[in-house]
Amino acid sequence: MDDLLAELRTWLSDALPKWKAKWNGDTSWDALCDWQRMMAEGKWATASWPVEYGGRGLGTMDVLAIEDVVAASGAPQIPGMIGLKNVAPTLMKFGNDEQRKSVVRIGSTDEVWCQGFSEPGAGSDLANVRASGRLEGDEFVINGQKVWTSNGMHASHMQLLARTNPDAPKHKGISAITLSMKTPGVEVRPIKQINGGAEFAEVFFTDVRVPVANLLGPLHEGWMVTMTTLGHERAGVAVFAGRLEQRIRGLIEDVAKGDTRISPVVADELAEMYVEARVLGAMARQMLNKIAQGGTPSSEQSVIKMVWSELSQRVDTVVMGLAGVEGVTGDNHAAALGYLSARSATIAAGTSDIVKNIIGDRVLGLPRD
Amino acid sequence: MKNATTTEAERAEFRASVRDYLSNASPETRVRSVIDSGTGLDESTWKGLAADLGIAGLLIAEEYGGQGMGMPEMAVALEEAARSLAVVPLLASSVLSTLAIQLSGDEEAFKKYLPGLADGSEIMAFAGLDGAGTTTLARDETFWGIYGTKTAVLNANIASRFLVVASTPDGTGLFIVDGSAGGVVVNAQDALDLTRPTALVTFEGSEGTRVGGDFTDGLKSLLSLGRIATSAELLGISERLMEISVDYAKTREQFGKPIGAFQAIKHRCSEMFAHVESMRAAVAAAALVDPEDTAALHEQALVVKAYCARFAPWIAEATIQVHGGIGYTWEHVAHLYLRRVKTDEVLFGDALACRDELQEILGLTA
Ligand SMILES: Cc1cc2nc3c(=O)[nH]c(=O)nc-3n(C[C@H](O)[C@H](O)[C@H](O)COP(=O)(O)OP(=O)(O)OC[C@H]3O[C@@H](n4cnc5c(N)ncnc54)[C@H](O)[C@@H]3O)c2cc1C
Strands B124-127 and B161-168: parallel
Ligand 1 neighbours (beta carbon < 6 A):
A 114-115, 117-118, 123-124, 148-150, 200, 344, 347-348, 350-351, 353-354, 357; B 263
Cβ–Cβ of A271/B274 closer than 8 Å?
no
- Greatest CA separation for chain A: 72
Q: List, for residues A113-164, the tens digit of each pLDDT value.
A: 999 999 999 999 999 999 999 999 999 999 999 999 999 999 999 999 999 9
Residue of the CA atom closest to atom 38 of ligand 1:
A124
Q: List, for residues A80-104, the tens digit of each pLDDT value.
A: 999 999 999 999 999 999 999 999 9
What pLDDT sits at residue B38? 96
Task: Please report which confidence band the pLDDT of residue A231 belongs to, taking 50, 70 and 90 as the band edges.
Answer: low
What pLDDT sits at residue B234? 98
- From chain B, which residues contact A within 8 Å (Cβ)? 246, 249-250, 257-258, 260-263, 265-267, 269-271, 273-274, 277-279, 281-282, 284-285, 300, 303-304, 306-307, 310, 352, 354-356, 358-359, 362-366
Packing angle, helices A236-257 and A299-323, rounded to 10: 30
Q: Which atom of ligand 1 is nearest to the CA of A116?
A: 11
How far does Cα B125 stand from its chain's mean position? 12
Q: What is the mean pLDDT of residues B264-273?
A: 98
What secondary structure does DSSP assign to A246-265, as a single string? HHHHHHHHHHHHS-----HH
A168–B contact, CB cutoff 8 A: no
Domains, chain B, in order of start with CATH, read 8-118 (1.10.540.10), 124-214 (2.40.110.10), 217-362 (1.20.140.10)
Average pLDDT, chain A: 94
Q: By three-state DSSP, how is residue B147 classified?
A: strand
Say how far apart CA A341 and CA B120 lie, in whole Å. Answer: 58
Say how far apart CA B61 and CA B72 lie, in whole Å. Answer: 15
Q: List, for residues B69-109, the tens digit of each pLDDT value.
A: 999 999 999 999 999 999 999 999 999 999 999 999 999 99
Indicate the top mutation candidate among A82, A86, A124, A159 to test ligand 1's pocket, ranked by most ligand atoms within 8 A of CB. Answer: A124
Fold of A113-218: Butyryl-CoA Dehydrogenase, subunit A; domain 2 (2.40.110)
CA–centroid distance, residue A330 to ligand 1 (Å): 29
Cβ–Cβ of B267/A363 closer than 8 Å?
no
Q: Tell whether the model's pLDDT for residue A24 goes beyond 90.
A: yes
What pLDDT sits at residue B347? 97
Q: What is the chain B residue with the closest CA to A259? A: B366
Nearest to A268 among B262, B285, B355 (CB): B355
Residue A275: closest CA among B230, B194, B361, B347: B361
Q: Tell whether the model's pLDDT for residue A267 goes beyond 70.
A: yes
Residues found in chain A: 369
What pLDDT sits at residue B67? 96
Residue of the CA atom closest to atom 26 of ligand 1:
A123
What pLDDT sits at residue A215? 98
What pLDDT sits at residue A141? 98
Residue of the CA atom closest to atom 44 of ligand 1:
A353
Task: Please report which confidence band the pLDDT of residue B3 belongs to, taking 50, 70 and 90 as the band edges.
Answer: low
What pLDDT sits at residue A234? 64
In chain B, which residues have their Cβ closer than 8 Å to the Cβ of A355? Answer: 270
Choose the weakest-confidence range: A232-241, A307-316, B241-250, B356-365. Answer: A232-241
Kindly state the helix (H) or strand (E) to which residue A148 belongs, with its residue range: strand A139-150
In chain A, which residues have their Cβ closer than 8 Å to the Cβ of B352? Answer: 268
What pLDDT sits at residue B57? 97
What pLDDT sits at residue B263? 97
Q: What is the mean pLDDT of residues B24-43?
A: 98
Interface of A with B in 281-340 (CB under 8 A): 282-283, 285-286, 299-300, 303, 306-307
Q: List, for residues B178-209, the tens digit of each pLDDT value.
A: 999 999 999 999 999 999 999 999 999 999 99
In chain A, which residues have their Cβ closer than 8 Å to the Cβ of B250? Answer: 365-367
Angstroms from B240 CA to nearest CA on chain A: 13
Cβ–Cβ of B257/A369 closer than 8 Å?
yes
**How many CB atoms neighbour CB B254 within 10 A?**
11
Cβ–Cβ of A369/B262 closer than 8 Å?
yes
Question: What is the model's pTM?
Answer: 0.94
Angstroms from B285 CA to nearest CA on chain A: 6
Residue A289: closest CA among A120, A110, A61, A123: A61
Cβ–Cβ of B270/A359 closer than 8 Å?
yes
**CA-angle at B139, arms to B134 and B143, nearest 5°:** 135
Nearest to A271 among B267, B281, B362 (CB): B362
Q: Tell whether the model's pLDDT for residue B137 goes beyond 70.
A: yes
CATH number of A224-363: 1.20.140.10
- The CA R_g of chain A, rounded to the nearest whole Å, is 22
Task: Please report which confidence band the pLDDT of residue A232 belongs to, taking 50, 70 and 90 as the band edges.
Answer: low
CA–centroid distance, residue A358 to ligand 1 (Å): 14
Task: Please report which confidence band the pLDDT of residue A236 belongs to, taking 50, 70 and 90 as the band edges.
Answer: confident
Say how far apart CA A139 and CA B224 lie, in whole Å. Answer: 68
**How many CB atoms neighbour CB B133 within 10 A?**
6
Q: Tell whether the model's pLDDT for residue A268 goes beyond 80.
A: yes
Cβ–Cβ of A275/B306 closer than 8 Å?
yes
CA–centroid distance, residue A235 to ligand 1 (Å): 22
In chain A, which residues have their Cβ closer than 8 Å to the Cβ of B285? Answer: 282, 285-286
Average pLDDT, chain B: 96
Cβ–Cβ of B352/A268 closer than 8 Å?
yes
Say how far apart CA B229 and CA B301 lie, in whole Å. Answer: 9
Domain segments of chain A: what residues? 2-79, 113-218, 224-363
Q: List, for residues A30-71, the tens digit of each pLDDT value.
A: 999 999 999 999 999 999 999 999 999 998 888 888 988 998
Nearest to A303 among B277, B282, B363 (CB): B277
